[in-house]
Structure 1
């Protein structure tokens, strides 16, 4: 059974170099082309999905649908989950990264980006739309470090993905840099102090192969 992880294509925030987090921004035209090419690559490899997952944010939803369309699998059911959302960057959301380096220094910004337990500057109140109204508001963070992202991604994997793999299904998971980094950490048992070595490029499929008892057979 195969599980394919894909980070969304280039977003407008990636292009403009600011922290996005749970801010809902679209793909650039380049990002759409990247997603289409990823779908063509999957089609060429003959990977056929039974289920797909994406975050609540349009950059992953557009990427997921584009990948499925390009691989002639647009009919595959897609489940949306907040647990695949990007890391919540708190008060850093919408701020240019270079400006923050000037204000706080490169070392501090690096700790915010890659420190496993380093929290961002928390927001006092989240200003979200109704897509999150159904959630227990105690679950909705006001900012997250990487440890917190791992804590919310593991239940998604254990409760929703593992049963599908054990049932012999192939799964597409479209997420974000940090949510997929957290998932890779868990799947591959990467140590906390090595998490910053996990690279998740835009729209480049990461293909895992498992047997029916969840033994990892291959990764490419």
Structure 2
């Protein structure tokens, strides 16, 4: 049995401002830092063999805060752009409400929620999955197959893509699947890396 914990980074400045962030390198807010500390407190007592994160500072800082809280700052940390947030193209930096008013709420909802329709010059969730899943299979799955305990701190859409893969969530159902900032989600996996249980970890 192996354990995988995934955490979406704490609130970022553009989360707070209701803007499309995508792969723009935006930092955490003070609330985001608090969320990271809470996640670390929840994970105290759990030993991780390795950690993975994106190359974006909001995820890296969230991971560093978590590791400080659990007292495991010496762990191997692998940073890779494959785990970056979905790139929102022409929408990056735009206010979500104003964008819905400009293009129509249905169109913006389609860009945000559909599996394979990308915003203008951006990535769809399918595109995101096409980089997240191969990275997981190459670098993380072999560790889990050795019954290692792994922590991934990344982003809403990169983690939703991974959740689709692990939990066999359909493209239709992923549209209604959210992942909260700063709330660890724990997967217990069998020897075939099939999910035995999924638990959101709260204080």
TM-score for the superposition, normalised by structure 2: 0.95
SS at match of 1:61: helix
Matched, 1:68 2:53: no
CA distance in structure 2 between the aligned counterparts of 1:197 and 1:106, rounded to whole angstroms? 16
Q: Does 1:91 align with 2:70?
A: no
Residue number in structure 1 paired with 2:159: 180
* Unpaired stretches in structure 2, ≥5 consecutive residues: none
| Structure-1 separation of matches of 2:194 and 2:19 | 38
Q: In the TM superposition, what is the alpha-carbon distance from 1:212 to its structure 2 partner?
A: 3.0
Gaps of 5+ in 1: 123-142
Q: Distance in 1 between matches of 2:24 and 2:193?
A: 34
Pick aligned residue for 2:141 from 162, 168, 179: 162
1:153 aligns with 2:154: no
Match of residue 201 from structure 1? 180
SS of the residue corresponding to residue 137 of structure 2 reads helix
Give matches, 1:1-220, under 5 Å. Answer: 1-43=2-44, 46-122=45-121, 143-220=122-199
Structure 1 Cα separation of the partners of residues 74 and 177 of structure 2? 32
- Between stretches 10-19 and 188-197, larger displacement belongs to 188-197
* CA deviation map 1:62-85 (0-9, x unaligned): 001111110111111110011110
Deviation at 1:213, TM superposition (A): 3.0
What is the alpha-carbon distance in structure 1 between the residues aligned to residue 193 and residue 99 of structure 2?
42
CA distance in 2, matches of 1:213, 1:20: 36
Q: CA deviation at 1:214?
A: 1.6
Q: Secondary structure at the match of 2:4?
A: strand
| Offset of residue 31 of structure 1 | 0.3
Aligned residue-pair number: 198
> The residue matched to 1:52 in structure 2 has which SS?
strand
Offset from partner CA, 1:144-172 (integer Å, 9 cap, x none): 01111111111111111110011121100
Q: Provide the aligned C-alpha RMSD in A.
A: 0.9
Q: Which moved further from structure 2: 78-87 or 209-218?
A: 209-218
Asked if structure 1 preserves the Cα contact closer than 8 Å seen for 2:20 and 2:92, the reply is: yes
Q: Structure 2 CA distance, aligned partners of 1:117 and 1:62? A: 30
CA distance in 2, matches of 1:80, 1:212: 26
